[in-house]
């Protein structure tokens, strides 16, 4: 094997490991219907669209805004 073959094999192994890591994070238990952030009920239409939702619409919007700001500005 030459260096290119070894590099290609290593990329394949790393990609497979990354895919397995992502798949391992997938939630398999449906939501309880209670928001993990505020403790209020999650909207029925939200649960119908995503039975695995962990946050109500307002808390999910706030978390998304914080994540977007962190990506823009870096951690604070």
> Whole-prediction pTM value?
0.57
Residue 8 is part of which domain span? 3-73
Tell me: the pLDDT tens digits for 8-24? 899 998 998 888 877 77
Q: Is a pLDDT exceeding 80 seen at residue 36?
A: yes
Tell me: the pLDDT tens digits for 57-71? 999 999 999 989 888
| Long-range contacts, 66-73 (Cβ 8 Å, 24+) | none
Burial zone of 56 (CB within 10 Å; 0-12 exposed, 13-18 middle, 19+ buried): buried
48: β partners:
none
């Amino acid at each position: 094997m030459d260096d290119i073959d070894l590099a290609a094999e290593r990329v394949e192994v790393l990609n497979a490991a990354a895919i397995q890591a992502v798949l391992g994070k997938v939630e398999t238990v449906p939501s309880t219907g209670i928001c993990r952030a505020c403790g209020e009920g999650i909207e029925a239409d939200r649960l119908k669209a995503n039975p695995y939702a962990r946050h109500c619409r307002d808390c999910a919007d706030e978390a998304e805004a914080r994540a977007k700001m962190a990506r823009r500005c870096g951690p604070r």
